């Protein structure tokens, strides 16, 4: 997939290996889920997740993200359409696919009476592909990778929410994975913990693991993801490289001044809308047509005796793009 596309389908032609979809670890075609009672949770989803990407899956509460993830992992069957994960059809190939997929979905479930280490030992023992002779080494490496080595002996019921998230990630990383699916991986983490998880995701991607990350934290998606898709009311709105998602959205003009009231008056005279004031900072949206020359607008502020300390266009954020694409605010309950 090259560039930004609105409601695209996966590539139809063969990849470099000659296998259709060889460049994608996840592909869906018209994937649809309708629940009993008629609720349409996912509507004709065409998704293409590039191999080796860190892919952000964005959408407000009820947009269909979790339902999509459940279908991709074979936890529920679609009403119609198809999904392929690691080149195999789901849910038909679930036994072949899931050993190569690590997942942290809707918060980790742990045995509270067991220590963090013993939880991982139990998870590893349940994996028929895991060599018991190297189990202790795998568990220690996973704990170390998520920063839980010092708390490995503490019972899981005494873990904070952030520590439980880390333990869930450790369970997903007990074996090398071609694909890692994370649902709100930084939930409950403090800023330092969030930075560590971002670093871990970058390291996994550098090692060749594709990371599919669902999150309501738009800043997180901007900082860690290479690609993203936006869902709204069960439908795919857009997907593409993160850098291009906001490229088509106009940035806001920002003026820093000790005279905000006068600046607001001038900006409105020149057609700016949604003008907002925060302390000594005034921002506004430039008109789509008859856009004023920025040099002339700056000169007009000076003529009005507005003391301009900073003046310029701000790059549109991913949140700006989300609002522009969906026509709705972002529900942080996600």
Rg (CA), the chain: 24
**H runs (alpha helix) in the chain:** 65-72, 94-97, 116-125, 135-145, 161-172, 191-206, 218-224, 242-245, 260-269, 294-303, 318-326
Over residues 285-307, mean pLDDT: 88
| Banded pLDDT at 78 (limits 50, 70, 90) | very high
**265: its two tokens:** 């008056």
pLDDT of residue 5: 43
| Banded pLDDT at 10 (limits 50, 70, 90) | very low
Identify the residue with better confidence: 215 or 332. Answer: 215
Listed range (161-165, 209-213, 256-260, 323-327) with the worst mean pLDDT: 323-327
pLDDT of residue 333: 39
**pLDDT tens sequence across 195-245:** 888 888 888 888 889 999 988 777 777 788 999 998 888 999 888 888 777
Instruction: For the chain, give every domain's residue range.
Output: 24-245, 252-315
Report the mean per-residue pLDDT for the chain.
Answer: 84
CA dihedral (307, 312, 317, 319) in degrees, to 10, reads: 40
Residues in the chain, total: 334
CATH assignment of 24-245, among 3.40.640.10, 3.40.190.10, 3.40.50.1370, 3.40.50.300: 3.40.50.300
Could you give the C-alpha distances from 89 to 46, 77, 101, in angstroms and in order?
Answer: 15, 12, 14
CATH assignment of 252-315, among 3.40.50.1980, 3.90.79.10, 3.30.1490.110, 3.30.70.100: 3.30.70.100
Side by side, which strands form the sheet with 281-285?
273-278, 281-285, 252-256, 310-313
Over residues 157-169, mean pLDDT: 88
């Amino acid at each position: 997939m090259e560039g930004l596309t609105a409601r695209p389908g996966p590539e139809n032609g063969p990849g470099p290996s000659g296998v259709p979809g060889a460049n994608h670890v996840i592909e869906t075609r018209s994937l649809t889920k309708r629940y009993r009672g008629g609720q349409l949770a996912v509507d004709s989803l065409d998704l293409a997740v590039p191999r080796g990407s860190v892919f952000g899956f964005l959408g407000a509460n009820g947009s269909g993200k979790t339902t999509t993830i459940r279908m991709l992992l074979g936890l529920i069957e679609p009403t119609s359409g198809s999904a392929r994960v690691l080149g195999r059809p789901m849910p038909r190939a679930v036994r072949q696919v899931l050993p190569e997929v690590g997942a942290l979905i809707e918060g980790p479930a742990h045995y509270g009476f067991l220590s963090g280490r013993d939880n991982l030992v139990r998870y590893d023992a349940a994996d028929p592909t895991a060599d018991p002779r190297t189990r202790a080494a795998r568990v220690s490496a996973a704990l170390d990778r998520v920063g839980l080595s010092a708390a490995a002996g503490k019972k899981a019921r005494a873990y904070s929410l952030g520590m439980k998230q880390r333990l869930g990630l450790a369970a997903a990383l007990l074996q090398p994975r071609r694909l890692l699916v994370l649902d709100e991986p930084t939930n409950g983490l403090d800023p330092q913990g969030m930075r560590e998880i971002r670093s871990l995701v970058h390291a996994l991607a550098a090692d060749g693991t594709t990371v599919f990350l669902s999150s309501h934290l738009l800043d997180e998606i901007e900082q860690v993801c290479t690609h993203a898709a936006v869902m709204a009311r069960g439908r795919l709105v857009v997907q593409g490289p993160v850098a291009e998602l906001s490229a088509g959205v106009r940035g806001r003009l920002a003026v820093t001044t000790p005279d905000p009231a006068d600046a607001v008056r001038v900006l409105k005279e020149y057609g700016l809308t949604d003008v907002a004031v925060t302390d000594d900072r005034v921002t506004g949206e430039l008109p789509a047509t008859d856009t004023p020359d920025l040099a002339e607008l700056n000169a007009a502020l000076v003529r009005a005796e507005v003391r301009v300390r900073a003046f310029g266009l701000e790059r549109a954020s991913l949140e700006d793009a989300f609002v522009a694409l969906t026509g709705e605010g972002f529900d942080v309950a996600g």
